[in-house]
Structure 1
């Protein structure tokens, strides 16, 4: 909500400075997001009239003007050289006299210093000042010519006073419950309650009808529209020009001027928070019907969009077609134009529940819908139509302009429901003593009728413009808001503190974050709702959990994997020319699970485990002189996973995953209990091409609960005997895996094979006497240890022979000769 301070002070003018007023609004719950002046500082700019304009003798695009600036031109009109295309005799424009200081010019060379006007020569002709455009004064971006001022602007007057430029624009960031503050009058009403300054409520006089014509209106949906008011106004001049004062106020509310009728409707909306609509009466066929839409009906809106409505959308229709989207936007068919002569002015009360969310269905938002879905005062529709009618007569009226009688239909108005406030409860929640008199004073200032229902208990009836007061806590908030949050004492909280022992066999999520950061990954945080494409392609989930009310059309389903989010982060970075990306995320995923029961932290039928995922792309290391640059590969990320899970041993088995390369991906299993805890691998070439990635990233995704497990170390005494080492070259089939071979060698019943390490793999390029086709040599080092006895060569040979025999049985290995 944006508005000028001067307009607010016309309704309520407390003895506060601009900054103090902003602080008051913020502390009352209406956060002032921005304060900025209407115009930047400048001086020496006055109103002047061009009395002569001749062609420059030495330049085709320049004119030599003589201007009358009142008291600033004692020796007669001033000579000004000007290149504006609209410089002509008879118009009043801003004149920066010699010595004037203008806002600094744009560009690096301006230095941010004011620009001083001096006497100068342009193509040999002297110029004693400068005629200004709106852009040169930083009033707008319009640079099409000189800023033309009203004809009644006094010559020589300071431009800042003529255009009221010493004003401040307030921008409020209002929460959804503050619909009553979406107008200048509504904010003034709050300021009056907060400060005690009198509220100036202009008297709106009824416009006497001079015509008996009525437009038939029928309300078929009371749950959509509770009140519908309207009247006919005939013989209006739609080509009339909007007054400058209205154009300025609309501009300072962030609304551009359109036409006089549209501007009048918008002006009253910003003034009193009342959205309204003006129909071209001659384009309405028969009467109007307020009802819910019907499947298959279409409507072309004022913004040019054509939409299809259904039974969940409210509409205003005539006898032939739908004419308006109820509470949101009018239709193109009945829009007013320069040819319009007779209009129908409508103001209604639309139930907030019937308007909320409808705009998002059609991918646009309007000021009217923004207000109606929060609640607009149903009690003042007639008064606001009277206000609009009078403005139409004043601005667009002709001698033949007449208006018809007011047609006001009330079918289903909200009934105020009293809310009970217990004074003792208010004091307890607020945290400081509050008396019943304090509460009564607050409700009196807010215009809320109340009565004492019992000792220390007040029954408060919310006014017609407050839709947010439904429970006792709402009233308590009003009490402290008006009394002032700054009155709250600085009381430290008192609560019992019980120490909770930490589980030594479990580390925290922050420890996992720090470890991943040490491995050169950066944390990213993503939405839990993602594109459906990611789920079907990267998670293999054909039936994801859908979001009932997505914030954006693409973010329509809940993610069951972190892979899609990480790939999207990679694409975001690549679009910004980042060539090396290493990111991780700790987050929840959602998947269907019928075994999950409803609870305080669970939803029936939906499992929401936490996962940790990472992605590495680009060079394996930062650019350096000591190592050649190479791309990150599967084994780099496999090593990161092992480091993340250390000291727990893990093993990897070939796996198939919808997002990963079938030959470069593996399941991650815990070595001690064989649990599968995740996946690691390179992105599938199909998705690398589908998501337009120059190279394939390597990803991992693990169950966070398993990653957080940290088994305590088991201490053993140091052996009194030395270990022995033996290196073996084993010939195995190409299909024999590392884990199978190492597992067979280590499976010593006596436990004397302490460790097995692969240190070489050899496959001859051509025929070999000891390695056949389809075979390879794997060299391993065995560490042997017997804690109870010293090794002898005979025992070592027997242990090695038994290990080779196990390997031969398990994978077909034999000693290489």
Structure 2
């Protein structure tokens, strides 16, 4: 909501400075987002009248003007504006004048000089040069009666200020200059000027037949016919200036009048070309398949959930939002129909967003507009039309079907004191409601208020408490320290923060990315194997139609984006939420029924692991590079990597990540068919796991430094080819060594090219170094041999292996 200070002071003029008014409104709940002067500072610019304009002797595009600025002698000024002509009055900068600062931030001073050999004693100014607008097509033409020689700042009221309010949705009654003035009067106690709407006497009996077929759409519809209107009449400059300071450009006189009343009293209205209406008007819900070309040029299709105003032939207007092009007024319009209605907020809410645009009218109607003054506001509009465009008014037609009920709301004074945090009396509350213009009665500590028709936000007790607080003043509320003790909530040692995970991945050479949570449905089907993703009701685009259940697609998109820009090495990660169907999830403050929303961490590595360097030559990042990064991410917890399958990964180069027997993620190379589909020169390696697995860690436990030297023994066992490294180490750890085994490390794998006397063709030899130790004493040979024997026995029984040699 934007408006000039001068317009506000016409309705309520408290003895406060501009900044004080802004502070008062802000502390009253109407936040002043911006306060700026109408024009930047400048000096010595006055009204001048061009008395003579002749061609410059040495330049085709310049004219030499004789300008009267009220000093007796005419000034000789050279000007290149195309509209510089005799008789017009324009802003004239005298010698020594300071123009507004330019792009460099320095004021521009007018000096006596020569242009192409002709002396120029000043400058004639455009609106852009005064920074009043971007119009620089010609000189700014002032009113023909503007006093010659008077300061332009006074003539154009350029010392005015523009307020920009950031209103919450419940403050619909403040979406007008009068509404803000009403609030300012209540906050300051300054008198409020009540508007008077003198009825316009009808001079003919022409009426338009109107039918309200949908009372749940329109509760009141008022209108009248005005004949013989001059639509080519010029909008008065005072109205143009006020509209401009409200952020609205001038269009035509009739449109300007409608907009003016909307900004003045918050009453959106519409003016039809009466002669283009076929028969009468029907206010109803739309019908499927009906189309309407709007004033903004868009053609839309309506249905039974959208309100319309239709005539006997076609739809003419989108109810409460925008008029149609078919009945728009033009220069040829002679007779008009002025309409003002009350549209139920629920019938207008959300309709604009269906067609991807919004209007000032829809913004107000969906929050609630006073239904009690449609007739008075049409009288006001009619008066302005006749004064500016002429015309003859017809009789008023006012149809009322159903209006909102003003249900009384009660407030307990004791409850108000408790919520506000300071004692308030019954008299204070009654005074606050009186200043707000609300009817209030008190009985036994309970105040009952009947909301006026322009207040749609008063329905519960807390609404009344808020009004009392606003009038008492937020700045007057006491500062009360909290009663509860404040104790720091320390995070448990067994969990690290998400930021620690980010820093660790960054230290491993990965760059963080942030992507949308809604993705292409094909990604879910191909890369996550999700045939039933969670679909969006109103997607931004067809490529962002479902919620992701995996981060893999987002990382591949980032990789493709970088490769298209000639990147040779890409290592990226993302920490984000995924969305999976889960019927066991119930609705709470942070969850939605049927949708599991865990946090995942995923990474992708492509290209040389260390970049270009002389010390290492490799074909690029492989599975074990990223496996090592995952192990670093999970450390000090030890993960187990088990062969597995994943829709996005190579079937022979993919592993499930397990911790304590539970699968927490996957790591692997991109599947060849997806590498081909994404047109990637090489296959990236990806990982994705639950974030909870990455943030958990073992709490360190103190152990004394070993006093006794450990013993190491190497064994080589022959096992079948299908026995994996993990299976071998698991069997070794399960051996009963009486707690002497401290570690086991595979250091050699031997596979003969052909069968030998000691090994079959389907066998291999695995060499393992065992580390044995005791915290009580140095191990004896008997203890070491017994432990090694237990390991060999466990491998023999569990894996069918045997000791080599």
Q: Which TM-score applies when normalising by structure 2?
A: 0.89
Partner in structure 2 of residue 445 of structure 1: 435
Give the unaligned 5+ runs of structure 1.
Answer: none
Partners of 1:744 and 1:807 within 8 A in 2 = no
**Residue aligning to 1:701:** 688
Deviations 1:766-793 (A, max 9, x none): 9999999999999855233153874659
Shift of 1:563: 4.2
Instruction: Describe the SS at the equivalent of 1:64.
Output: strand
Among residues 298, 302, 311, which one is paired with 2:304 in the alignment? Answer: 311
In structure 2, C-alpha distance between the alignment counterparts of 1:661 and 1:254, rounded to whole Å:
60
> What is residue 422 of structure 2 aligned with on the other side?
432
Cα 1:241–1:813 shift into 2, 3 Å: farther
Aligned to 1:647: 636
Determine if contact 2:754/2:761 at 8 Å carries over to the other structure.
no
In structure 2, the partner of 1:680 is: 667
The offset of 1:449, in angstroms, is 0.6
Q: Are 2:193 and 1:200 equivalent residues in the alignment?
A: yes
Q: Does 1:89 align with 2:77?
A: no
The answer to whether the Cα contact below 8 Å between 1:726 and 1:782 also exists between their aligned partners in 2 is yes
Shift of 1:665: 4.3
- Give the conservation status (yes or no) of the 8 Å contact 2:748–2:768: no
CA 260–657 in structure 1, closer or farther in 2 if over 3 Å, else same: farther
Instruction: Please list, as runs of the form range in 1=range in 2, the aligned pairs for 1:609-628 lying within 5 A after superposition.
Output: 609-614=598-603, 620=609
Where do residues 743-782 of structure 1 align in structure 2 (5 Å cutoff)?
743=730, 748-750=735-737, 754-758=742-746, 781-782=768-769
Deviates more, 1:701-710 or 1:121-130: 701-710
Equivalences, count = 801
Equivalent of 2:471 in 466, 482, 486: 482
Q: Which of 706, 710, 720 is the equivalent residue of 2:708? A: 720
Q: Does residue 595 of structure 1 match 2:584?
A: yes
Partner of 2:26: 26
State the alpha-carbon separation in 2 of the partners of residues 219 and 794 from structure 1.
Answer: 101
- Residues 569 and 608 of structure 2 are in contact (CA less than 8 Å); yes or no, is this contact kept in structure 1? yes
Q: Is this contact kept in 2: 1:724–1:791, CA < 8 A?
A: no
1:545 to 534, 554, 571: 534
RMSD over equivalenced CA pairs, Å: 3.9
Picking from 384, 395, 399, the partner of 1:409 is 399
Counterparts in 2 of 1:477-556, with a 5 A limit?
477-495=466-484, 505-509=494-498, 511-513=500-502, 515-516=504-505, 519=508, 532=521, 535-536=524-525, 538-547=527-536
Change (3 A) 1:650 1:311: same
| 1:380-410 deviation line (CA, Å, top 9, x unaligned) | 111111111111112221xxx2111111111
Mapping of residues 573-588 of structure 1, within 5 Å: 586-588=575-577
Specify which of 135, 140, 143 is matched with residue 150 of structure 1. 143
Q: What pairs up with 1:127-526 in 2 under 5 angstroms?
A: 127-397=120-390, 401-452=391-442, 454-495=443-484, 505-509=494-498, 511-513=500-502, 515-516=504-505, 519=508
Distance 1:607 1:255, change over 3 A: same
Change (3 A) 1:592 1:798: closer
Aligned to 2:119: 126
- Distance (Å, rounded) in 1 between the aligned partners of 2:131 and 2:472: 41
Residue deviations 1:672-698, cap 9 Å, x none?
x32111223456677678779898765
Distance in 1, matches of 2:295 and 2:630, equals: 57
In terms of mean alpha carbon deviation, does 275-284 or 621-630 score higher? 621-630
Q: Secondary structure at the match of 1:70?
A: coil
Q: Distance in 2 between matches of 1:496 and 1:595?
A: 38
- CA separation of 1:503 and 1:282: change in aligned 2, threshold 3 A: same
Match of 2:66 in 1: 66
Alpha-carbon distance in structure 2 between the residues aligned to 1:694 and 1:477:
64
**Are residues 656 and 68 of structure 1, via their aligned partners in 2, closer, same or farther at CA, if it must alter by over 3 Å?**
farther
Quote the residue 1:102 is aligned against: 99
Residue 794 to residue 613, structure 1, CA distance change in 2 (3 Å): closer
Instruction: Give 1:629 deviation, angstroms.
Output: 12
Contact 1:596 1:607 in 2 (8 A): yes
Determine the C-alpha separation between the residues in 1 that align with 2:760 and 2:265: 90
CA distances 1:22-48 after superposition (whole Å, capped 9, x unpaired): 122222222211122211111111111
| Structure-2 separation of matches of 1:523 and 1:94 | 57
CA distance in 2 between partners of 1:122 and 1:707 (Å):
75
Q: Which residue of 1 aligns with 2:596?
A: 607
- Give the secondary structure class of the aligned counterpart of 2:187: helix
TM-score by length of 1: 0.87
Separation in structure 1 between the aligned mates of residue 758 and residue 208 of structure 2, nearest angstrom:
100
- Structure 2 vs 1, CA of residues 455 and 93 (structure 1 numbering), >3 Å: closer, same or farther? same
Deviation at 1:347, TM superposition (A): 0.9
Query: Structure 1 residues 204 and 813, CA, compared in 2 at 3 Å: closer, same or farther?
Result: farther
Equivalent-residue separation in structure 2 for 1:84 and 1:361 (angstroms): 46
Deviation at 1:370, TM superposition (A): 0.9
